[in-house]
Amino acid sequence: MPDTAVSTRPSRPFADLHRAPDADQRGGAAGREDLGSLPEWNLNDLYSGTQSQDLQDDLERARGQARQLREDYEGRLAGLNGDTLAVAIERYEAIEEVLGRLMSYAQLVYSGDMSNPEVGKFYQGMQESVTEISTDLVFFTLELNNIPEDALEAKLESEKLRVYQPWLRDVRAFRPHQLSDELERMLHEKHVSGRSAWVRLFDETMAALRFRLHGEELTSSEVLNKLTSHDEATRKAAAKTFGGTLGEQVRTFSLITNTLAKDKQIEDSWRAFARPVSSRNLANFVEDEVVDALVGAVRESYPKLSHRYYRLKAKWMGKDTLPYWDRNAPLPEDDDKVVPWQNARETVLNAYAEFSPRMAEVGQRFFDDNWIDAPTRAGKAPGAFSHPTVPSAHPYVLLNYQGRTRDVMTLAHELGHGVHQVLAAHQGHLMADTPLTLAETASVFGEMLTFQRMLRNETDPKRRKVMLAAKVEDMLNTVVRQVAFHEFERRVHDERKNGELLPERLGEIWLETQREALGDVFLFDEEYQYFWCYIPHFIHVPFYVYAYAFGDCLVNSLYAVYENAHGDFADKYLEMLQAGGTKRHRELLAPFGLDASDPNFWHQGLGLIERFIDELETFD
């Protein structure tokens, strides 16, 4: 999906709900036999194959319908009455859903094996075909935005059109940044040979990299997992080979980053966005001031959160300082227990069921119907995500499951996304999607439910300490690290306005933002300057990362309400998820008495992390 504010959107990119790697690289040296039978997804619910007749038929049908829609309505939308405009939107939505199904399938196939040239060719071909077809649809949202406000209000007296009022509200939010019809069409058409091509280059470069460790050639997911090994020599060797190998490719990654930052700067300038982050904030329907308050609150809390925790961790490990490869090291008391897949499944579903049987019922379908792809394998996308696809189908979850407790948390996270996507599907293709900030709410809440249940059931003090420490590290990765990523991204985009940034400068910004976030307890060797290279969010979805901190702090506040709530909390929560994209964050949080525009809201959320650290200090 291009960043173009008003162009037609054939599908959500697979990265939109793809957790930032440093937030969820869950380690583990377990062999596949220890994990049990890991599921692989069945994409036949979308299409039976890359060359299947059903896929070709949908392509041709969408091509004809898009052309016909343009012939029927281009230049005429403003003159339609409310009922007739509703019919036009229904036709537009149906075409968009077919295009969304096509691109969702292509993206999922590609995520399963990014290193296969034939798969890459199929993915590129689908992008080109869908972009060509959807060019006939670009006029639609442009003309909707050109309808005067009073004229649209008159049309909205139609009951049929009022169904689409939330979507019209969101489309028209981009009116101040809309360009001429010709420019919008040109930007849409060239996306596939511009930004999209650079994103593909990044994906395929990362997927092709192999990291040599102890005589083995490992993928990025596999080598990053070694950073949680109990053996310090293994952690160090993994960190060295990872950073060193990224360093060998740093010129390519720097070129991609510089090119995409310049591309964004040009488009933002034409669209009159005040700051590089502003277009993302508008897409998330959250005010710049709210994001600034979040980022400010987190940075202000670095000393009492991350700095304090990692000093505590250094003491537990018998050290005065920590080399950077010890950041995700297990505690000495951690028995490195392997969690088989079946146990992970039961743990998460039981936690969901305790909160709401409906949540567990929806989550169960992901396991029963092969909607999850769990094993690690060469060429597969790293990290984890839940792709919503389209309402007429269902979401798919990608994991790289390796049997650690943190992998269980990742399953709980992505299943939270999946449940949210299923519950919101009834809103239809145009209104099921949720802004990124609120999309992370369901996932992080699913994690919190799972963690709290596991903690309540654990009576051994050493195990409780290990669990609490792991949760704190997850929360620091989700809040502190992601805000540090945001700061890196902000500084890169700001400096790019004055010219291309050399690889050395990118490394300097990375080290400066990491030192600020993690504190002076850490020592960073030379190769750590290259670790920025592998974060896909910088490339796929600029300024995505603050959504994790937004979601985590929001959930911490929401969970505090839940702990003191009466019996109707679960019902209210499910209603919030079912709303999809029809409501903004103020409306969704109002039933819980929460307001994200209040600066105290963020400090309340950060306070939960602080309390967990307080409890950990009692174990000394």
Q: What is the pLDDT of residues 380-403, one digit of tens each?
A: 988 899 999 999 999 999 999 999
- CATH fold of 14-44+220-620 reads Neurolysin; domain 3 (1.10.1370)
| Residue 126 pLDDT greater than 50, yes or no | yes
What's the confidence (pLDDT) of residue 566? 72
Q: pLDDT digit string (tens) for 221-266?
A: 889 989 989 999 999 999 999 999 999 999 999 999 999 999 999 9
Residue with tokens 């012939």: 71
* 211-213 vs 216-218, strand pairing mode: antiparallel
CB 115 within 8 A of CB 378: yes
What CATH number has the domain spanning 46-173? 1.20.140.70
- Helix (H/G/I), strand (E/B), else coil: 522: strand
Rounded to an integer, what distance in angstroms lies between the CA atom of residue 458 and that of residue 446?
19
- Find the mean pLDDT for residues 270-292: 93
CB 18 within 8 A of CB 383: yes
| Residue 14 pLDDT greater than 90, yes or no | no
Residue 31 binned pLDDT confidence (cut-offs 50, 70, 90): low
Domain(s) of CATH 1.10.1370.30: residues in the chain:
14-44+220-620
Q: pLDDT digit string (tens) for 566-612?
A: 778 999 999 999 999 999 888 999 999 888 888 788 988 899 999 99
For residue 527, what are its two tokens? 């190769």
- Find the mean pLDDT for residues 299-319: 96
Identify the bridge partners of residue 211 per DSSP, sorted by sequence position.
Answer: 218
Instruction: Give 587 or 493, the one with higher predicted confidence.
Output: 493
Rounded to an integer, what distance in angstroms lies between the CA atom of residue 303 and that of residue 225?
27
Give the relative orientation of helices 250-271 and 195-208 as an angle to the nearest 10 degrees.
160
For residue 548, what are its two tokens? 């994790």
Rounded to an integer, what distance in angstroms lies between the CA atom of residue 612 and that of residue 598?
23
Domain(s) of CATH 1.20.140.70: residues in the chain:
46-173
The percent of residues above 70 in pLDDT, for the chain, comes to 94
Task: Spell out the alpha helix ranges (H) of 284-404.
Answer: 288-301, 308-316, 341-355, 357-368
What's the confidence (pLDDT) of residue 620? 67
Rounded to an integer, what distance in angstroms lies between the CA atom of residue 116 and that of residue 138?
32
Q: pLDDT digit string (tens) for 183-210?
A: 998 998 888 889 999 999 999 999 899 9
Q: Count CB-CB contacts under 10 A for residue 75.
A: 9
| C-alpha separations of 292 from 174, 241, 300, 434 in Å | 21, 36, 12, 21
- Mean per-residue pLDDT of the chain: 91
If phi > 0 it is left, if psi is from -120 to 50 it is alpha, else beta; for residue 272 that is left
Q: Is the whole model's pTM more than 0.85, yes or no?
A: no
- Find the mean pLDDT for residues 16-30: 43
Q: pLDDT digit string (tens) for 436-491?
A: 778 888 999 999 999 999 999 888 888 899 999 999 999 999 999 999 999 999 99
